[in-house]
Amino acid sequence: MTKDAIANITQIATFQNSRFSHATETMDNFIVWVESVEIMAIAQASPKNTITEVTRRAIIDYLSVGRQWSGSLNEDEFLGRIYDLKRMPSTDYRHEYDDAAKDIHKHRVMNSDWSDDWVFTDGRFDLLHGPDEPFLKFLAETVHPIVRPDTAESEKMTTEYNTLLAADGWEIHPIKEISGKAVFGYRRAIDSARPHLQEAARVAEALSGHYVAQQVRRMQEAVEKDPELAIGTAKEFLETLCKTILSERGMDVSKNEDFPALVKTTVKSLSVVPKSLAAQPQSEKTISALLGNLAAIGHQLAEMRNQSGTGHGKSTEHVSLEKKHAKLAVGAAATLAVFLYECHEAEKPA
């Protein structure tokens, strides 16, 4: 083969190689672009986070104090129940491991050189800032019977989760049983007391009274954890609002007047039936009857408080009411208190 032929073959090979390299680079850029578009599409399609960082950090703090989030399992075993760790990348800077499963096993099972709460700040899981569902699924898994065989401990953790999640409208709840032990899922919480408490908080802010605001906060916290305290505080909240209204209207409140009478006096002091209904006797009668029933809330709350709320000693056979009863009491008291205060505000001089 002549030198010229060799030179031509070398030139052709160099040209083809350059074309191949360019094509490969173009394809790589195209793949990167497609992946970027897919990531953007997924991000846009992702559900909005409704569980705030405040709630998540509170739950993380709870888990970080003497509670191993992976329970009786190794952390790679626990996470493998939720994620396909072998398809997730390793973050080891030495590139000794090619997937998250090996990565986590090395650093948490063999060496334990990552912090105990590493999973909450690991971007591969994004539990602190990511969508609600993976975070809720993670919490439900921490109380699974295989992960945490102690039923009492699981129930205690679930109660704490729900107390914190309630602020954002979620709850962990049993969905089935395995060998007599509950398996948990998650759902939107239906809390009849929550909107009423929000309105009550607005009234407390308008009054600028520390004591009233304190009562609202106490009801918010106690309605899940301490139903008896919630019932007692609901009665106190309505009593405080009635006394405030009567005081602002220049009416004396007798120290000997009992709570039901106080509520009735407050209702009578207000123009609770619109004047426009005077021409509609039947409508006026209906509204008056409804308001009469509302005024009776004072009597019923007083009885609930005496029988089941705080403030009175109970016998050793006493059985506490459940949180649904506390929500009923809090919702009723807050609804009536807000209604009466709005009637009072409407009659103030402009």
Based on the fold, state whether residues 67 and 146 are members of the same structural domain: yes
- 340 and 200 in one domain? yes
Tell me, yes or no, whether 234 and 318 share the same domain.
yes
Amino acid 70: pLDDT? 96
**Which of 279-288, 289-298, 339-348 holds the top average pLDDT?**
339-348
Residue 152, judged by CB atoms within 10 A of its CB (0-12, 13-18, 19+), counts as: exposed
Quick: pLDDT tens for 289-321: 776 776 677 677 777 766 654 554 544 454 567
Q: What is the pLDDT of residues 162-210, one digit of tens each?
A: 888 887 888 999 999 999 999 999 988 755 556 666 777 777 777 766 6
Residue with tokens 């650093």: 107
Judge if 184 and 201 occupy the same domain.
no
Band the pLDDT of 120: cuts 50, 70, 90: very high
229 and 153: one domain?
no
Q: Output b/e per residue, 109-136; b: 16+ Cβ within 10 A.
A: eeeeebeeeebbebebbebeeeebeebb
**Residue 323: per-residue pLDDT:** 75
Q: Which domain holds residue 7?
A: 1-45
**Whole-angstrom Cα distance, residue 54 to residue 119?**
17
Q: How many angstroms separate the CA atoms of 167 and 191, rounded?
A: 10
Q: Which tokens hold the place of 36?
A: 């970027």
Looking at 19-33, 46-60, 106-120, 192-206, which range is the least confident one?
19-33
The number of distinct structural domains making up the chain is 3
- Same-domain check for residues 115 and 77: yes
Residue with the bigger pLDDT between 98 and 40: it is 98
pLDDT (0 to 100) of residue 84: 94
pTM score > 0.75 for this model?
no
Q: Does the pLDDT at position 80 exceed 60?
A: yes
Mean pLDDT (whole number) for 17-41: 41
Give me the pLDDT at residue 295, please: 65
Is 268 within 8 Å of 244 (Cβ atoms)? no
* Residue 309 φ/ψ, nearest 5 degrees: -90, 180
* Residue that has been written with the tokens 């809720």 in this structure: 136
The predicted structure's pLDDT at residue 350: 58
- With contact defined as beta carbons under 8 Å apart, do 336 and 297 qualify? yes
